Chain A
Amino acid sequence: GAGVSQTPSNKVTEKGKYVELRCDPISGHTALYWYRQSLGQGPEFLIYFQGTGAADDSGLPNDRFFAVRPEGSVSTLKIQRTERGDSAVYLCASSLSLAGGELFFGEGSRLTVL
């Protein structure tokens, strides 16, 4: 596609529920990144993929968070048993490769956990 697409743009859920956030990267971009941004803060790294495999998942805060990219294109970030502290904007970015390429971000998915 023309840019990085993220859905949903807004998600409101109740504490304890399961949530999936989707990212569709720029066509041909092999590297895909997930970040989380809280109000007034810079984006915080969560995980990135090269192709289908997670190259670095050291930023995932705990085992409630999981991300997949089964076909090397679209990625889904999955959050189990959501907590109020998970409320943030989840940003996805892609680049042509991991080798120092320019990152292009989507508009983000705003998650609110009540």
Chain B
Amino acid sequence: KQEVTQIPAALSVPEGENLVLNCSFTDSAIYNLQWFRQDPGKGLTSLLLIQSSQREQTSGRLNASLDKSSGRSTLYIAASQPGDSATYLCAVGGQAGTALIFGKGTTLSVSS
């Protein structure tokens, strides 16, 4: 059974810092991996989708990498801003046509 772990559970940084959020998964036979952002009391917003054949995806200040063989993904946020404060969730798709399995998330706080 696939298990997804996100470390750290919470992270506080000053504005302007670059930071890395970690996601690990137990079964490397994944189809894709998706990173989401969730603001308090809100739904999930998709940030980046990485297919299993890809190594990384970039969108603005965000860069997500995928290493299937080691069961890891990282989300890199450059030049963090207070508006980046939210919970970041990693989710893994097992094979085409299966639902995503989520980690518990990392709650990020960026202070000005």
Contacts and interface: CB of A to CB of B under 8 A. Distances in A.
Given A33-B99, A56-B98, A56-B99, A100 B32 contact: yes
A99 B45 CA distance: 20
The size class of the interface chain B forms with chain A is 20 to 34
Contacts of A42: 4, 89, 91, 102-105
Chain A interface residue bracket vs B: 20 to 34
A99 B51 CA distance: 11
Given A42-B4, A42-B104, A100-B93, A91 B44 contact: yes
Contacts, number: 58
Contact of B102 (A43, A100, A106): A43
B43 A40 contact: no
Given A42-B104, A48-B99, A103 B34 contact: yes
Contact of A106 (B32, B34, B43, B46): B43
A59 B101 CA distance: 11
Contacts of A105: 36, 43-46
Interface in B89-112: 89, 91, 93, 96-105
A100 B104 CA distance: 21
B100 A103 contact: yes
Contacts of A104: 46
B31 interface: yes
A55 interface: yes
Interface of B: 4, 31-32, 34, 36, 42-46, 49, 51, 89, 91, 93, 96-105
Given A33-B99, A103-B46, A105-B44, 18 more contacts: A35-B102, A41-B104, A42-B4, A42-B91, A43-B89, A43-B102, A44-B102, A91-B44, A98-B96, A98-B98, A99-B96, A100-B32, A100-B96, A102-B46, A105-B36, A105-B46, A107-B43, A108-B43
7 contacts: A91-B43, A91-B44, A100-B51, A100-B93, A105-B45, A106-B43, A107-B43
Closest 6 CB pairs of A and B: A42-B102, A98-B97, A105-B44, A107-B43, A105-B43, A45-B99
